[in-house]
Amino acid sequence: MAVARMDGSVEVFHCSDRFFQEKIIPGREQCGIEGLSWVGERLFSAGLNGGITEYDLTNQKAKYTIDAYGGPIWAIAGNQQGTHLAVGCEDGTVKLFEVNEDSIQFERNLDRQKSRIVSLSWHPSGSKIAAGMMDMIQVFNIETGHSLHRMLADRGVGTSRSKECVVWSVVYLSDGTIITGDSVGMVKLWDDQTGTLIKSHNVTKCDVLALSVSQNEDSLVAGTSEGIVVQFQFVSMVLEKDDKEWVRTRTFRNHTHDIRAVAEITTAVVSGGMDAQLVVRPLLDKIEERSAASALRKIHFPHRRLVSCARKSGLMLFQYPGHLELWRLGESEGKGSSLFVKRNPEKLLHLKVKGEDHIRCSAVSPCGEWIVYSTASTLRLYRLHCDNNNISITKISKLPKVLSSASQLCFSSDSSHLFSASAQSSVHLVSISQSGCKFVGTLKPKSGERTIGFLAIHLLAASEDGKWVASANSDHEVHIYNLQTRKAHCTVPVYSSAVTAMGIHPATNCVFMMHADQQMFEYSIEQKQYTDWSRTVQRKGLHRLWVERDTPCLNVMFSPQNPSHVILHDMYMLCIIDQSLVRQTRIQKAFSLIFLILVDLCIYIYIYIYIYICLLFQLPAPIKQKKFAT
Amino acid sequence: FRFVLCTSGDSVKVYSTRTEEWLHSLQGHTNQVTGIALNRANHLQVYSCSADGTVKLWDFIDGILIKTFIIGYPLFAIYVSEKHDGIVFLHIAMDTDSKNECFQLVAVHLPKSAEQEVEAKELSAVSSRISPNPSCTAFGREGQYIAFARHLQLNVYFFRKQKTYSFSLKATDKKGAKNAFTCIACHPADDCIATGHEDGKIRLWRNFIHTKEYTYSTQHWHHNAVNTLCFTPEGTNLLSGGIESVLVQWQYGAGNRKEFLPRLGGSILHVSTSSDGQLFCTSHSDNKITVIESSFKVCGVIQGLVKGDAVLTDLMIDPRSKALVLNGKPGHLQFYSLMRDKHLYNLDIVQQEYIYEAGLDQFEVVKAAFDINGYWLATVEERGQKSSDLEFVLKLWAYDERTQSFVLNTTITAAHTDRIISMCFSSSEETTMLVTTAEDGQFKAWCQGADADTQQDQSFWSCEFVGSYHNLKPTNCSFSADSSLLAVNFQEVITIWSPDTWELLTTLCQPPGVVRDLCFGRLSCSKYLIATTTRNLLCCWNLLTCALEWSTSVEVSKLQPDPLSENVAAFSYQSKHTDLFVFKPSEPRPLFTHKNMCSEKIHRAVFVPREEPLNNCDESSQWLNRSQLYFLTQNMDLLTFSTATEEDRMLSSSKRLVIDDSVAVTPFYLLLGKHRQQQQKLNTPSHPAADKPQQPQGSVTITELLHTPAHVLPAASVLCSMLVSSLLISNTGVRKDPLREMESSEQEMNSEKEEEHSEEEMEACDSQQELRAQGSVDEVTPKLSKAQERELKRIRKTDFSWMTGLIDSKP
């Protein structure tokens, strides 16, 4: 499932892997996306800047952008055959593009209309297309390019009479029914043979912004600007007879603001909107077996670490789409249950990105001397000079050519090397020093029998002793490289779920991996096998409450005091896993987890919540409605 | 569609939807009637089931019992379906469960036989473990399936497939929903089941032949449990009602489009529609039926004795209208005519909008008292009984002759510093005085006096005297019959005051035990003061000697003196049942004892004066001759004692009803039949109970003339003479009988509406009595000659004089 955000970024979620956010393609300034369309395995987007963009999902970046020359594009739709792409433009034209092997090519315009095309939907046969416009819906014949029907949508009553009715969304079913959602709050069903209205449902007092129909066309969801999702089902009114009707059934209220996009994916309804969260509401009647994977899921935060920490100097780097912030942690005195804050945290640096591209990844070195970030096109390395209160940075010029762009960045523990994950699943090793930086080598996985290119790396972890580095890519592969030989050391057996966080234990040099389905593994690098502890955990199984959590773990850390403590955190909690406990006490099911909040680490979560709350404050007020009438 | 049927105790009452009048009741069950259902095969017939274990089939238009089916188990609800002819579905209690909490649904095949009483033996269980709530079961489209819910589970049983589909909901969710089912309705044409839930949601279930892919949509308007759901016959609308007393009409298939009909009274318990969908009917918790047109307009209200949450006031008799007065609608006093068993009107005491929501603390009328003439009414309303900050207002209402109702005269907001416990008016005719006792240890006397500041001729009430006794808490106060003495009890001590001088005359004390109730004797026993204490003692003091006359050990929950006789009724609650003793204060032996009267405690009772005294020779029922005793149980059932002759009369009238159908009742026949009936009545004066409704005769004829359609009226000449003659007779009758004169003047005082009503009832009564006439008159003559008329008149005159002579000689 692909999701486009207002800042132009496109995220790809894996529906069967607990909606893990596999890929993030950062956006650009001034690039609002209005529509997304899959054509086969290819993803296209169109936006108000008038361009159609195809994405390279392997390397997680935009492949190319073609201008449609029709003004801002409001809608994009690909046909089911995968041959054509239609875009609806501000100038009133529906433009057809032919999808070629490696690009798309303009074919022709359909009959030009007077008002802008707001929504588009292909008939599943690919011979007709329905377009929603201001105050009306048009049906075009693809062969001739002429309009077949023109159906007028009613304006609202009263004061909204003067406002034109925007047909925000349209769905064309294979039986010839056209379903539209408009700004009057109606979901209307039309017959494309006669061009007449069959039925209309008043869903809301405000706009119906999005519609989506299920694969087998028996369920339809509509998202409204009140923040509710309404489900319609195609059910027979008299049981065991075939005269079916669309009946409004369920209502889902999970959003506080406008819902801009909905998708009915048969087992669930996915909705996203202005409140920046993505809600996956399972449809229990379609799910064979209820499990943790089929629970209601709200995705607020990216499944990526956007904060990096310089442990030795107490600096934290926060990554925003357009800038970086460097903070120095506060200090506290004494030990005990309540700590007094001696020095408040302070913001040291606000680094704006050059150019229009947004930041893809960033890192701060453990010594706190180096800051690196990468956009889709450039990589920049800065050196931080910090003497008391004077902070200055200098950009390191003359970077090696391999460091043109990175999908993930990581410093070695002694800050002497920078690891930069690049295309083809390879990791570049660059040594950095006062004098400058020097390319050392490239770590490549054993290609083996694989012929297709490797996917982009989204996680990197370096060992404390500087011997090993581990990388995880979106194919769920974890490669471990020996830094001394600069060769691939081994590959962890591929697990079915994506790796969400990993770390190398400083003492035992075991890779600790967390997966999207909340399973945890520990793999010994030296012995090239899973550790006993990991096998025990897998044999005994994890506790139900642990498995049913709905956010993936984002970080793996190891307690310096107690080597058997592994510290994990996700969006909502920090937890410490005591590896020694499992070995000693043979608890059957209840996997002993000690949940503990650590004051220092808590800051991670605060920051995420802070960002989220800031975002909420920036939002316009949701539509006001009276809860209780008098 | 002209009749509304409702169950009422052990009978089914039939009301007309046009006039809202009670037509007749279908009597025959020996226990509570628990359910009624129209016979689908014959729309003029109705099934009723009762806890006595029988199902009866009635012709409800004529009120005839057609058949009785004996099932043998107590029945709790009845359902019929179109598809299952000759089968009724009944709720019976599970045999295994002693607590009656488990019910099963059984189908009973009703045997076809000509006999009146048939035993139906063919029982087959449809489902066990169903909800005890009868509205949680409903038949689906064409009787193909039955849906029943219990707690959180909805079951749909298909008769053809013989398969049950079950759907359950979670008890609650994060948002605090309460999902227990409260009622069910099935769409008549589509396969759609509407269910109501405890938190006010309405769910519409579809596709329920799939255990997984079933679906439902949720509507939420009610803020509390949905009590009832009903689809209109065409299925275009769904009606729902709950505690909010708002009838909501949901448009079927149009999402949340809905209409409201608010402020219907008490919470809505049932909704039903007529088979043509023109009329809706709602029944309310305050004993009311509202008839509503399909255009959502109330077109009729059938009001019984208003049943509130609790009766906080005493039962009282309005001395003017002789109506029973007690708490009615929240914040109101209701006036209820016991003679005609009809609700007269509600008097708004609190004068604030009542909010229909559970758990709110709102003003309630807690005390009320009439003075002896019925000219003044004193009320106390209270709020905050549960919380610490108590608010109460004492209001005095004067009767306004012009508007024929009570008008607020004085509002006293801080009559006492703490709540008022009791109050009473002085019983003398000349001065009206109100005495209130309160928890602050004081009693106050209030008098009417002209306010010096305002120059109006209106007079308001002000405090005249504040009395207290050793800082004890007064509880009861009572005036003696001639108002020369006021008795106020302060815990164990009864103090006697003179209202003229406000002098403490004497104190009476009989410890231990706090005095619970006290009253003075009446008439010849007015020198006695009777009091009950918490230590199960009934004491009687002679006020002339100030000594204890007698006392007896009996636990008395309510002491009620009869204003028209010396008798005092005492209700005693012992070992879980109530006994009634009636005694005269002069002698410690009871006149009448009724052991084990009912199982509940009686706190409210009243003696209602009879319109005319009975002359009963029976020793045991003599105390009922002048007035009737009504009492209220904790279930809000109003019960009364009746004499043997009254019972006979009621029985005979009901028997007459049954043989009614052999004569065609035309208005014409009614008109002429009445004369014969009157004749008959006068010839048999030994049966005085039969002519109970004593009405001015003339007006009956007039209204009948006016109400009868013109094309069925006899010739004008006939009518004219009849009219004149009937007027003449009534005049002579009134002149000669002083007692009757008083009554007729009383009746004239009543509002026009009431008179109309009484005429209607008169008609019903007439139709019964004319049958009696049938025996004496052999053939029905359509016209009467003037000579015959004159003859009739003559007979009547003579008879009347003879009868009044008899009456005069009687006492």
Alpha-carbon distance B224 to nearest alpha carbon in chain A (angstroms):
14
CA dist A526 and A508 (Å) reads: 9
Strand partners, B316: B325
pLDDT of amino acid B749: 40
pLDDT of amino acid B650: 59
- Give the residue, B234 or A302, on which the prediction is more confident: B234
Q: Taking 80 as the threshold, does the pLDDT of residue A339 lie above it? A: no
Question: What are the chain B neighbours of A240 within 8 Å (beta carbons)?
Answer: 209
Question: What are the chain A neighbours of B255 within 8 Å (beta carbons)?
Answer: 201-203, 248
CA dist A466 and A462 (Å) reads: 7
Structure tokens at B320: 């003017």
Contact B216 A251 (CB under 8 A): no
Q: Taking 90 as the threshold, does the pLDDT of residue A169 lie above it? A: yes
Structure tokens at A34: 């209005």
The CATH homologous superfamily for domain B132-303 is YVTN repeat-like/Quinoprotein amine dehydrogenase (2.130.10.10)
Model confidence band, residue A96 (pLDDT cutoffs 50, 70, 90)? very high
- pLDDT, tens digit, for every residue of A411-442? 888 888 889 887 677 888 888 888 778 888 88
A527 touches chain B (CB under 8 A): no
Task: Determine the residue of chain A that is closest to B213 in CA distance.
Answer: A285
Structure tokens at A115: 């008002």
Nearest to A568 by CA among A623, A605, A616: A605
Task: Determine the residue of chain B that is closest to A218 in CA distance.
Answer: B213
CA dist A405 and B420 (Å) reads: 88
| Residue A207: partners with Cβ closer than 8 Å, 6 or more residues away | A166, A168, A181, A182, A183, A184, A185, A224, A225, A258
- Exposed/middle/buried for residue A581 (C-beta within 10 Å: 0-12, 13-18, 19+): middle
Give the number of residues written for chain A: 630
Tokens 């940075």: give the residue.
A393
> ipTM of this predicted complex?
0.74
pLDDT of amino acid B550: 85
Q: CA distances (Å), A232 to each of A187, A192, A221, A264, A357, in order?
A: 10, 20, 6, 11, 41
Q: Which of A39-53, A88-102, A306-320, B543-557 has the lowest mean pLDDT?
A: A306-320
Question: What are the chain A neighbours of B191 within 8 Å (beta carbons)?
Answer: 236-239
Task: Determine the residue of chain B that is closest to A290 in CA distance.
Answer: B212
Mean of per-residue pLDDT scores for chain B = 75
Question: What are the chain B neighbours of A290 within 8 Å (beta carbons)?
Answer: none
- pLDDT, tens digit, for every residue of B159-189? 888 888 888 888 777 677 788 899 999 998 8
Q: How does DSSP classify residue B624? A: G
Contact B255 A201 (CB under 8 A): yes
Q: Are A74 and A34 in contact (CB under 8 A)?
A: yes
CA dist B738 and B735 (Å) reads: 7
Q: Are A9 and A24 in contact (CB under 8 A)?
A: yes
Question: What are the chain B neighbours of A239 within 8 Å (beta carbons)?
Answer: 191, 207-209
Q: Taking 50 as the threshold, does the pLDDT of residue A29 lie above it? A: yes
Q: How does DSSP classify residue B482? A: T
Alpha-carbon distance B341 to nearest alpha carbon in chain A (angstroms):
38
- pLDDT, tens digit, for every residue of A129-142? 999 999 899 999 99
- Strand residues in A346-411 grouped as ranges (E): 346-352, 359-364, 370-375, 379-387, 390-395, 408-411
Task: Determine the residue of chain A that is closest to B216 in CA distance.
Answer: A249
- Restricting to A residues 233-262, those with a Cβ less than 8 Å away from any Cβ of B are 233, 235-240, 247-251
Strand partners, A503: A512
Nearest-by-Cβ selection for A248 from B207, B214, B255: B255
- pLDDT, tens digit, for every residue of A176-228? 999 999 998 889 999 989 989 998 888 888 889 999 999 888 899 999 988 89
Residue of B145, B168, B169, B190 to mutate, interface with A, max A Cβ within 10 Å: B190
Question: What are the chain A neighbours of B210 within 8 Å (beta carbons)?
Answer: 285
- pLDDT, tens digit, for every residue of B781-811? 344 556 566 665 555 544 444 444 444 444 3
- pLDDT, tens digit, for every residue of A483-493? 888 888 888 88
Structure tokens at A628: 């209780």
Q: Taking 90 as the threshold, does the pLDDT of residue B419 lie above it? A: no
Task: Tell me which residues of chain B have a C-beta less than 8 Å from any C-beta of chain A.
Answer: 141, 189-192, 206-210, 212-218, 253-257
Answer whether B1-130 and B132-303 agree in fold: yes
CATH of domain A304-431+447-461: 2.130.10.10
CA dist A312 and A536 (Å) reads: 35
Strand partners, B78: B90
CA dist B201 and B179 (Å) reads: 8
For chain B, the domains span 1-130, 132-303
A458 touches chain B (CB under 8 A): no
Nearest to A430 by CA among A457, A403, A466: A403
A193 touches chain B (CB under 8 A): no
Tokens 């009140």: give the residue.
A226
pLDDT of amino acid B734: 38
CA dist A253 and A533 (Å) reads: 43
CA dist A193 and B466 (Å) reads: 91
Nearest-by-Cβ selection for B206 from A202, A235, A240: A235
Model confidence band, residue B754 (pLDDT cutoffs 50, 70, 90)? very low
Model confidence band, residue B57 (pLDDT cutoffs 50, 70, 90)? confident
Question: What are the chain B neighbours of A248 within 8 Å (beta carbons)?
Answer: 217, 255
**How many cross-chain Cβ pairs, A to B, lie less than 8 Å apart?**
52
Q: Starting at the edge strand that comes first in sequence, how are the strands of the sheet with A128-133 ordered?
A: A117-122, A128-133, A136-141, A147-152
Question: What are the chain B neighbours of A237 within 8 Å (beta carbons)?
Answer: 189-192, 206
Contact A236 B208 (CB under 8 A): no
- Give the residue, A43 or B779, on which the prediction is more confident: A43
Task: Determine the residue of chain A that is closest to B191 in CA distance.
Answer: A238
- pLDDT, tens digit, for every residue of B481-523? 888 888 888 888 888 888 888 888 888 887 677 888 888 888 7
Model confidence band, residue B574 (pLDDT cutoffs 50, 70, 90)? confident
What's the alpha-carbon Rg for chain A, to the nearest Å?
Answer: 27
Average confidence (pLDDT) over B129-141: 82
Residue B392, CA atoms < 13 Å, CB-side half-sphere = 22
Model confidence band, residue B98 (pLDDT cutoffs 50, 70, 90)? low
Average confidence (pLDDT) over B607-616: 77
Task: Classify the C-alpha dihedral A225-A226-A228-A234 as positive or negative.
Answer: negative
Q: Taking 70 as the threshold, does the pLDDT of residue A467 lie above it? A: yes
* Phi, psi at B46, each rounded to 5°: -140, 140
For chain A, the domains span 209-300, 304-431+447-461
A485 touches chain B (CB under 8 A): no
pLDDT of amino acid B764: 38
Contact B215 A286 (CB under 8 A): no
Greatest mean pLDDT among B112-121, B346-355, B379-388, B651-660 lies in B346-355
Task: Determine the residue of chain B that is closest to A247 in CA distance.
Answer: B253
Name the pTM for this structure. 0.72
Model confidence band, residue A229 (pLDDT cutoffs 50, 70, 90)? very high
CA dist A181 and B564 (Å) reads: 78
pLDDT of amino acid B195: 92
Tell me the angle at which helices B752-776 and B738-749 cross, rounded to the nearest 10 degrees: 130
Structure tokens at B532: 């009950």
Structure tokens at B499: 């209202």
Model confidence band, residue A476 (pLDDT cutoffs 50, 70, 90)? confident
Q: Taking 90 as the threshold, does the pLDDT of residue B308 lie above it? A: no
Contact A233 B191 (CB under 8 A): no
A285 touches chain B (CB under 8 A): yes
Question: What are the chain A neighbours of B140 within 8 Å (beta carbons)?
Answer: none
- Give the residue, A509 or B697, on which the prediction is more confident: A509
Nearest-by-Cβ selection for A285 from B141, B192, B212: B212
Alpha carbon B612 to its chain's center: 23
Q: CA distances (Å), A417 to each of A409, A413, B675, in order?
A: 11, 8, 124
Structure tokens at B125: 């269980």
Average confidence (pLDDT) over B87-116: 74
Map residue B778 onto helix, strand or coil.
coil
CA dist B805 and B811 (Å) reads: 11
Model confidence band, residue A118 (pLDDT cutoffs 50, 70, 90)? very high
Q: Are A386 and A364 in contact (CB under 8 A)?
A: no
* Phi, psi at B690, each rounded to 5°: -65, -35
Contact A239 B209 (CB under 8 A): yes
- Exposed/middle/buried for residue B615 (C-beta within 10 Å: 0-12, 13-18, 19+): exposed
* Residue A311 burial (CB count, 10 A): 14
pLDDT of amino acid A457: 86
Q: Taking 80 as the threshold, does the pLDDT of residue B306 lie above it? A: no
CA dist A59 and A457 (Å) reads: 9
- Exposed/middle/buried for residue B356 (C-beta within 10 Å: 0-12, 13-18, 19+): buried
The CATH homologous superfamily for domain B1-130 is YVTN repeat-like/Quinoprotein amine dehydrogenase (2.130.10.10)
- pLDDT, tens digit, for every residue of B339-348? 777 788 888 8
Contact A250 B254 (CB under 8 A): no
Q: Taking 70 as the threshold, does the pLDDT of residue A621 lie above it? A: no
Nearest-by-Cβ selection for B257 from A202, A238, A240: A202
Model confidence band, residue A591 (pLDDT cutoffs 50, 70, 90)? very low
Q: Taking 70 as the threshold, does the pLDDT of residue A363 lie above it? A: yes
* Residue B284 burial (CB count, 10 A): 23
* Residue B353 burial (CB count, 10 A): 8
Alpha-carbon distance B181 to nearest alpha carbon in chain A (angstroms):
18
- Give the residue, B678 or A361, on which the prediction is more confident: A361
Structure tokens at B581: 């003793």
Contact A250 B217 (CB under 8 A): yes
Q: Are B186 and B139 in contact (CB under 8 A)?
A: yes
pLDDT of amino acid A618: 63
